[in-house]
């Protein structure tokens, strides 16, 4: 199976689905983490140009921690918009990696970049099959199943499927901690201890499905995205 996760910011995938990605790669599936924005606004002291470089390398290390490849699209942080250019960018990225499954944000999440990321991925995951939309890579021959990952803190999100990450939780935390520039920023700006934050949500989702730790997902239930088999690991 080929799995593509798309996050709006360099640490979103680690916060919300890295335990599941680790399970995919552990069983031999291919995974790639795609990040839409460069995260250049996420610090009080480090300037945007320098921070963008730092966060790209942090995200690359985080992806490698769970066995995933990595691609940075590099849009400016806080200014992600759905237009023809960003839609074509995502169409071509899907064509490049040709996933069976795409994991991305829920449209109910708190950040406008997250919501916009969902909109772009939703559109592109169907339009990548249209041959007359020309990009660098050829059109795909199928529409990938679209999985929605949890929201930050689990707010306004009711999972329909769960993945037991009891064996990969600490790897998820290790991947998140690769984002060194964000540990202090998130503590100061959002009052978050990142490791405790993800462990708490994983524990809550685990309680809901009777395992120690879990990640929650929903499937976008629209033709022709649905498959008769379970595609989560």
Does residue 15 form part of some domain? yes
Does residue 224 form part of some domain? no
What CATH number has the domain bearing residue 15?
A: 3.40.50.10320
Instruction: Give the structural domain span for 46.
Output: 2-219
93 within 8 A of 67, measured Cβ to Cβ? no
- How far apart CA 73 and CA 55 sit, in angstroms, is 12
Report the pLDDT value the prediction gives residue 221, as an integer from 0 to 100.
94
Does residue 231 form part of some domain? no
DSSP string, 3-20: EEEEESSTTHHHHHTHHH
137 SS3 class? coil
pLDDT single digits (tens) 177-189 = 999 998 888 888 8
Side-chain-side CA neighbours of residue 181 (13 Å): 25
Residues 6+ apart with CB under 8 A from 49: 40
Backbone angle region of 74, left / alpha / beta, with phi > 0 → left and psi within -120 to 50 → alpha: left
| Parts of the chain with a pLDDT under 50 | none
Task: Quote the strand ranges of the chain, DSSP E.
Answer: 2-7, 30-37, 69-75, 101-104, 145-149, 161-164, 214-219
Task: Give CA separation, 179 vs 1, 4, 52, in Å.
Answer: 27, 20, 12
Does residue 21 form part of some domain? yes
Does residue 226 form part of some domain? no
Does residue 227 form part of some domain? no
Report the pLDDT value the prediction gives residue 184, as an integer from 0 to 100.
83
Does residue 73 form part of some domain? yes
Report the pLDDT value the prediction gives residue 55, as an integer from 0 to 100.
96
Strand partners, 149: 217
- How far apart CA 114 and CA 37 sit, in angstroms, is 10
Report the pLDDT value the prediction gives residue 28, as an integer from 0 to 100.
98
Does residue 225 form part of some domain? no
Indicate the number of domains in the chain. Answer: 1
């Amino acid at each position: 199976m080929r799995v593509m996760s798309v996050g709006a910011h360099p640490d979103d995938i680690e916060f919300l689905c890295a335990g599941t990605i680790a399970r995919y790669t552990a069983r031999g599936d291919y995974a790639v983490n795609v990040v839409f924005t460069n995260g250049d606004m996420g610090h009080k002291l480090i300037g945007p140009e320098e921070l963008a470089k730092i966060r790209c390398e942090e995200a690359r290390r985080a992806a490698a921690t769970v066995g995933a490849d990595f691609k940075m699209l590099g849009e400016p942080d806080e200014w992600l918009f759905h237009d023809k250019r960003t839609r074509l960018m995502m169409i071509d990225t899907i064509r490049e990696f040709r996933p069976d499954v795409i994991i991305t944000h829920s449209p109910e999440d708190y950040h406008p970049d997250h919501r916009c990321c969902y909109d772009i991925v939703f559109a592109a995951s169907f339009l990548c099959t249209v041959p007359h939309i020309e990009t660098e890579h050829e059109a795909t021959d199928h529409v990938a199943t679209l999985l929605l990952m949890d929201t930050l803190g689990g707010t306004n999100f009711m999972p329909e499927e769960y993945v037991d990450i009891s064996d990969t939780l600490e790897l998820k935390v290790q991947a998140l901690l690769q984002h060194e520039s964000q540990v202090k920023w998130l503590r100061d700006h959002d009052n978050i201890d990142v490791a405790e934050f993800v462990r708490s949500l994983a524990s809550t989702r685990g309680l809901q499905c009777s395992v120690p730790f879990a990640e929650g997902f929903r499937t976008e239930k629209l033709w022709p995205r649905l498959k008769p088999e379970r595609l989560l690991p």
